[in-house]
Amino acid sequence: MRLSEWQRKVIRETVIQIFGETAKVWLFGSRVDNLKRGGDIDLLIETDNQDVSKLVQAEIKLSTQLQLKLGEQRINILIDYPTRLNRPPIFEIAKQTGILL
């Protein structure tokens, strides 16, 4: 995994701050491969929250907070929640190939 322990901690703590104690976060994509270089930070957030408008606000807040804390980086965020009607295949791929932080 190509994130430092400090970066992982910042991501975990920020996700919990914004989405609550039960939220889970996976790192997936190129950053899980130690042989690659560069790349976006791809995150899948799993939350129990079902209010879509609050989820949109939380996603914006998370993106902003991570930029402030980690520095300017390309960060992609996917959010999964129980009442989601459309769950693209990338969600399952992220869980299968990603690392739970």
Q: Is 75 exposed, middle or buried (0-12, 13-18, 19+ CB in 10 A)?
A: middle
Cα–Cα distance for residue pair 87/65, rounded to 1 Å: 26
Average of per-residue pLDDT across 25-43 = 81
Class of domain 5-100: alpha beta
CA 59 to the chain's CA centroid = 9
Global pTM value: 0.89
Residue with tokens 């402030």: 68
Chain segment 35-91, per-residue pLDDT in tens: 677 678 999 999 999 888 999 999 999 999 999 999 888 999 999 999 888 889 999
Chain segment 2-19, per-residue pLDDT in tens: 788 999 999 999 999 999
Cα–Cα distance for residue pair 51/53, rounded to 1 Å: 6
pLDDT of residue 19: 96
